[in-house]
Structure 1
C-alpha cells in the first residue's frame, strides 16, 4: 500500500524565473555598491572641509614610532626656551629643598619618630589625647613617689600636667603654620607636574602633525594635514599658557613659604617661653 506525503510539494523553478532572480540580485548589488561609493565620497569630502573631523593625534604604536623618529632626527622637534627649562629645574630643585626642610621642621616639633607624619597631605604629628610624655609620666610618679625624693617628685608631678597641653598646642599651631608649604608639596607642585606632562604630549602631537603636513603630497591631503597641525598647535599653546600660569605663582609661593617657616619658629619660641613661665610659676 502506498502512502501519500502530506503538505505541499515544492515546485521546480523554470529557467525564466532563474533569469529574473539573477537580474534582481544584480540590480540590488549594483544599487548597494553605488550607495556605498556615494557615502564614501561624501565622507571624504567632509574630512577635507571639516577641521573637527580630522583624525585624533597619534596614540599607541604611532606615538612609539614618533618618539623613535625624534631620537633619530627624522621628526623636527619643538624646543622650549632656555629660560623655560631653567625655571622648571629651579622649581624641581626648590621642591626637593622645601621637602627636606619640612622634614627637619617636623623632626624639631615631634621628636618621637613613632608619630612622624605618614602622609604629607595631612601632616598630623601631634600626640593623641593623654598620650603626651608629660601626661604619661604623672601616674608612675604618683605610684612610686614614696621611693623617690619627695621634693623633686612633687615638682615633676606639678609641672608635667602643665607642659603636656603646651606641647600639644604647639603641635597644632606648628601644623597650621606650615599649611602653605603643605599645600605646595601636595597640590600645587603636583598640578604643575601634571600640566608639564600634558604639555609634552601636546608638543609631540604638534610635531607629528607638522611632520605629516610636510610629507603630504596631494593638495587635499595637504589641506587636511594643515588643519590637523593648526588644531594641534592651538592645543599646545593653550596648555603652555596653563604651565606658565603655574610658574608665575612661584615667586609668591616662596614668599609664603618663608613666612610659614618664620611662623613655625615663632610658635616654637612661644611654647618654650610659656613652658618656662609655667615652671617658674
Structure 2
C-alpha cells in the first residue's frame, strides 16, 4: 500500500513538472525566436519557425545602430527613456507610500469619501483623460518640455491608484503595535514612516517600482502625445520610426531594436525578482 502511494506521488510530481515545463517552453519560445531572428536576414525570417539562423548575420544590429535623420540613434533614445523613467519610478515610490500611509494609518474627516474617490479612479480609462490632460499641459506650456514634465510631474501626486491600493493592502498586514512602539521611543509620524513602515513595505515598494519601470519603459502613448522633437524621442517611439512602410520593413533591424529595448527591463526584473514575488503575494493577502 505504501509503495502504491509512493508511486502515485511520483507520478503526480512528474505530471506537474511536465506540464509546467511544457507551458514554460511555449511561453518563452517567442522571445527565444526573436533573439534568433535578430541574426537572420529578412528573407530567412519568413522561411521557417526555427530560432537557429542558418546563415547568421549582424546586419540587423548594424542597421539598428544607424541614426534617424541624424538627430537620434538607439543609444540616445535609450538615454531619453531613462531620463524620465527613473524620476517616475522614484516619485511613484514616494507619493504612493505617503498616500498609502495616510489612508492606512490615520483617521480624518472625509477619509472614507476620499478613499472611495481614489478607488473610483481605477475604473477610469486613461484614454478618457488624454484629451483634457493634453489641453491642460498645452496651456501650461509643458508639451515637448525638455524635462518631460507632463510625463513626470503627475507621478508626484500618486496618480497610479493601483500602486496605492497595493501598498494599503500590504500595510494592513503590518501590526499597528510597531507604530505605537516607535511613538513610545519618541518617533513622530514621519520618523515612524521612514524607520518602521518603509522597511516593512520594502517588498511591496520594490514590486511597484518594477511595475512602473517596465510600464514606463514600454509606454508609447505618453511620449507620442507630449514629445514632438525627434531628438527627444524615447525607445518606444524610436522602434516605431524604424518601421518605414514606404521602403519596406527591415524586420531584422526592428527585432534587434525590440530586443535592445527590453533588455533593461529584463535585467532589472531578475535582479529584484525575489522581492517582487514577495510584494505581489503579500499584497494580495487580506489583513
Shorter-chain-normalised TM-score: which range?
under 0.3
Structure (1/2) with the larger helix percentage: 1
Higher RCO (C-alpha 8 Å, min separation 6): 2
Larger radius of gyration: 1
TM-score by length of 1: 0.24
User: TM-score, normalised on structure 2?
Assistant: 0.24
